[in-house]
């Protein structure tokens, strides 16, 4: 048979296939349908869903009550420096376990404890989303005699251990400097909300830094928050003891323009 005859077979093949499909039609499994009548009601949620919802609610309530109880214990007899750290949300050496839990906004469920004699080592139960304080996520916390003796932070550059007051002070200053640097970059990019967040967190450690007050005032000014901006400008000028120095005299040359600008903005904001 020559190739020229193949097109003539197409109608024959199509008709044959059509007849075969008609001879063996496909059927859909028919099941009885339930029709609702007027006045019928949809069945209530299953007991399993209701039970799961109730259990989740009870767990949240129990967790909140546990945290409230821990807060009462943590704040009962805390020293001044420990109470200050609690307020900042920063884990400090010398904290009790209850104070540690309150600072990290967790309960004992979030930790795995290993005890040996008078030493207790706490590690996060969930390494990827574990507890953290205002500084960084926590990798390990060691308690000796019931009080925090060392803290291991999980930071981008690696693990960092704080086991003395000097370590804590140096770490806080380094963290504050890093936050200010991040805030400066965000401010240059025009993200003043995020920049202000970094400056606020840095100010917990370096609240006496007048330059940081000025940066916060500038961010608030850009965000159209005049009352707060005005307050920060005033704090900046007060910390520089502006009444006793001149912008062109004893003041730091780097802050001379900032002093002039702060004065100008105060005049504008006070008029508003």
- Give mean pLDDT, residues 5-18: 55
Q: Find the helix packing angle between 165-188 and 192-203, rounded to 10°.
A: 160
Strands 138-144 and 158-162: unpaired
- Give mean pLDDT, residues 98-120: 89
Residue 187 CA to residue 161 CA, distance in Å, equals 31
Q: pLDDT band at 11, cuts 50/70/90? A: low
- Residue 43: other Cβ atoms inside 10 A: 6
- Tell me the three state secondary structure of residue 127: coil
pLDDT tens digits along 157-176: 788 888 888 877 777 788 88
pLDDT at 248 over 50: no
**What was the pLDDT predicted at 29?**
55
pLDDT tens digits along 167-209: 777 777 888 888 899 999 999 999 999 999 999 888 877 767 8
| pTM greater than 0.75 | no
Which residues, 6+ apart, have CB-to-CB distance to 162 below 8 Å? 93, 150, 151, 152, 153, 168, 171
Q: pLDDT band at 75, cuts 50/70/90? A: confident
In three-state form (DSSP H/G/I as H, E/B as E, the rest C), the secondary structure along 136-168 is CEEEEEEEECCEEEEEEEEECCEEEEECCHHHH
**What was the pLDDT predicted at 136?**
86
- Give mean pLDDT, residues 224-242: 85
**What was the pLDDT predicted at 53?**
59
The structure tokens listed for 160 are 């960092």
Considering the four listed CATH numbers 3.40.50.1000, 1.10.10.10, 1.10.3720.10, 1.25.40.10, the one that applies to the domain covering 174-271 is 1.25.40.10
- Of the candidates 193, 230, 198, the residue with the CA atom closest to the CA atom of residue 212: 198
- Tell me the three state secondary structure of residue 171: helix
**What was the pLDDT predicted at 49?**
57
Sequence ranges of the domains in the chain: 91-163, 174-271
Residue 77 CA to residue 144 CA, distance in Å, equals 19
- Tell me the three state secondary structure of residue 184: helix
């Amino acid at each position: 048979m020559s190739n020229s005859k193949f097109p003539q077979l197409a109608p024959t093949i199509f008709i044959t296939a059509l007849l075969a499909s008609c001879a063996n039609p496909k059927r859909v499994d028919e099941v009885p349908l339930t029709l609702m009548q007027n006045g019928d009601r949809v069945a209530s949620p299953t007991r399993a869903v209701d039970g799961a919802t109730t259990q989740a609610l009870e767990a949240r309530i129990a967790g909140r009550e546990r945290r409230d109880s821990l807060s009462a214990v943590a704040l009962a007899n805390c020293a001044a420096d420990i109470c200050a750290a609690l307020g900042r949300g920063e884990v400090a050496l010398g904290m009790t376990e209850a104070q540690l839990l309150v600072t990290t906004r967790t309960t004992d469920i979030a930790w795995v404890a290993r005890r040996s004699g008078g030493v207790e080592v706490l590690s996060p139960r969930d390494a990827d989303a574990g507890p953290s304080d205002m500084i960084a996520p926590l990798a390990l916390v060691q308690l000796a005699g019931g009080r925090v003796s060392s803290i291991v932070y999980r930071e981008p550059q690696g693990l960092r251990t704080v086991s003395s007051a000097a370590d804590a002070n140096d770490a806080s200053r380094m963290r504050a400097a890093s936050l200010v640097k991040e805030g400066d970059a965000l401010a240059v990019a025009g993200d003043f909300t995020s920049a202000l967040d970094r400056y606020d967190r840095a100010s917990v450690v370096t609240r006496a830094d007048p330059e940081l007050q000025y940066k916060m005032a500038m961010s608030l000014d850009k965000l159209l928050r005049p009352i707060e901006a005005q307050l920060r400008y005033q704090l900046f000028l007060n910390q520089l003891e502006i009444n006793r120095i001149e912008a062109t005299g004893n003041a730091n040359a780097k802050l001379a323009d900032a002093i002039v600008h702060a004065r100008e903005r105060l005049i504008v904001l006070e008029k508003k």
